């Protein structure tokens, strides 16, 4: 994908696109024009799941809109966020259908609850692209995401290795905080998290599925575990930055020192700042521009009557998966600053200036 300006992002794309590609969908990547005369002013729905993670409002939507505008200048993107409410997302999808969308790009709050709406869309010839989270029990047209099981394994392996290197592995056990039980992508991440812990031989003290990925719920659960296990908690494998941040808040509120190392995923600015200051151990660098651009290119391919790129198959659906990278203090400068994905001025505000200085970030 030539729209990515950083070396790191290009490397991710090259790694991911080594599989087979479907039809002539590759033509859409380099296209800068509209989706053909028939669909040159088509409507595309972009339906995101929640605002618990800041990424959807701050990154996914604007990046998808930008790439879609480049590919199809007269196309209209209808954006909606479901606020973690499956019923609300059903209504938004139904409304998009009545508005005459040609393609629906949806990150499902609960894939099973959208079954009838997806069937309605397909009966009208609307192409359905699953974004970030798959539809495990329903045949749709395409799926675009980072490799979620790989994400879980990467963050888990990274933490387990750190615990062994620091000599903490034999002093207690870890907590596993998963994502939403209604999110199929969370299930894949959970599988990777569990595999990393199991392979390490380090004890798992307890595990929690976080409803709607809500950080406050992860924090409440972690608080209970602190009361139960105290300093026997040597680390936390958290599925994303929000749940990881919740665990860190629980430890700090309880006065647990030092705060056990905690994982994350999404490379949110707040998480990167926690890494700089040593409060969070790792996160996952998965530049949203990659999947947002790929989703726009897939939508544009369908508007032109072509098939999008394919690198894999997930739950029977043709998929395009990308491989992410782990970020820790050791490589945060290279991964996030030198690559241009994050500005040093945004990361190194007053509260984090000293931490940035120690890591050579200015």
Spell 104-126 as b/e; 16+ CB within 10 A means b. bbbbbbbbeebeebbeebbeeeb
Q: Which pLDDT does position 7 carry in this prediction?
A: 32
Is the pLDDT at 26 greater than 50? The verdict is no
What is 148-265's CATH number, 3.30.479.10, 3.90.550.10, 3.40.50.2300, 3.40.50.1980?
A: 3.40.50.2300
Q: What is the mean pLDDT of the chain?
A: 90
How far is C-alpha 184 from the geometric centre of its chain's CA atoms?
12
Task: Give 203-239 pLDDT, tens digit per residue.
Answer: 999 999 999 999 999 999 999 999 999 999 999 999 9
Three-state SS for 18?
coil
The pLDDT confidence band at residue 38, using thresholds 50, 70 and 90, is: low
Task: Give 274-328 pLDDT, tens digit per residue.
Answer: 999 999 999 999 999 999 999 999 999 999 999 999 999 999 999 999 989 999 9
Domain chopping of the chain, boundaries: 7-146+288-324, 148-265
Q: Which pLDDT does position 1 carry in this prediction?
A: 33
**How many CA atoms within 13 Å lie on the side-chain side of 146?**
24
Q: Give 232's contacts (C-beta < 8 A, 6+ positions apart).
A: 171, 172, 173, 205
Q: How far apart are CA 335 and CA 253, in angstroms?
A: 31
Q: Which pLDDT does position 37 carry in this prediction?
A: 46
Q: Report percent pLDDT > 90 for the chain.
A: 85
Same fold: 7-146+288-324 with 148-265: yes
Q: How far apart are CA 240 and CA 57, in angstroms?
A: 17
Q: How far apart are CA 38 and CA 51, in angstroms?
A: 35
DSSP 58: I
Q: What is the mean pLDDT of residues 251-270?
A: 96
What is 7-146+288-324's CATH number, 3.40.50.1980, 3.40.50.800, 3.40.50.2300, 3.40.190.290?
A: 3.40.50.2300
């Amino acid at each position: 994908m030539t729209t990515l300006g950083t070396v790191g992002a290009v490397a991710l794309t090259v790694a991911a696109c080594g599989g087979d590609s479907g039809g002539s969908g590759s033509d859409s990547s380099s296209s800068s024009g509209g989706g053909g005369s028939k669909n040159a002013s088509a409507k595309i729905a972009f339906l995101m799941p929640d605002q618990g993670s800041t990424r959807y409002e701050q990154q996914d939507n604007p990046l998808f809109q930008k790439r879609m505008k480049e590919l199809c200048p007269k196309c209209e993107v209808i954006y909606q966020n479901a606020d973690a409410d499956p019923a609300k997302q059903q209504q938004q999808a139904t409304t998009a259908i009545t508005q005459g969308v040609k393609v629906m790009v949806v990150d499902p709050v609960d894939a099973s609850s959208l079954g009838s709406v997806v069937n309605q869309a397909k009966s009208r010839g609307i192409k359905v692209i699953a974004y970030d989270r798959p539809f495990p029990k329903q045949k749709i047209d395409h799926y675009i995401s980072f490799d979620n099981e790989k994400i879980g394994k990467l963050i888990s392996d990274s933490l387990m290795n750190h615990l062994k290197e620091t000599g903490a592995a034999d002093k207690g056990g870890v907590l596993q905080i998963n994502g939403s039980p209604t999110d199929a992508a969370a299930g894949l991440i959970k599988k990777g998290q569990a595999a990393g812990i199991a392979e390490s031989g380090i004890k798992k003290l307890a595990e929690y599925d976080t409803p709607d990925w809500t950080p406050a719920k992860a924090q409440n659960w972690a608080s209970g575990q602190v009361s139960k296990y105290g300093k026997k908690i040597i680390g936390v494998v958290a599925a994303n930055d929000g749940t990881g941040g919740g665990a860190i808040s629980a430890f700090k509120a309880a006065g647990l020192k030092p705060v056990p190392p905690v994982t994350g995923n999404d490379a949110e600015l707040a998480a990167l700042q926690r890494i700089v200051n040593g409060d969070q151990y790792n996160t996952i660098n998965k530049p949203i521009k990659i999947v947002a651009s790929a989703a726009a290119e897939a939508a544009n391919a369908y508007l032109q009557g072509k098939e999008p790129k394919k690198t894999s198959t997930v739950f029977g659906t043709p998929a395009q998966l990308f491989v992410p990278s782990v970020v820790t203090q050791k490589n945060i400068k290279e991964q996030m600053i030198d690559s241009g994905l994050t500005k040093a001025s945004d990361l190194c505000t007053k509260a984090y200036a000293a931490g940035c200085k120690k890591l050579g970030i200015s």
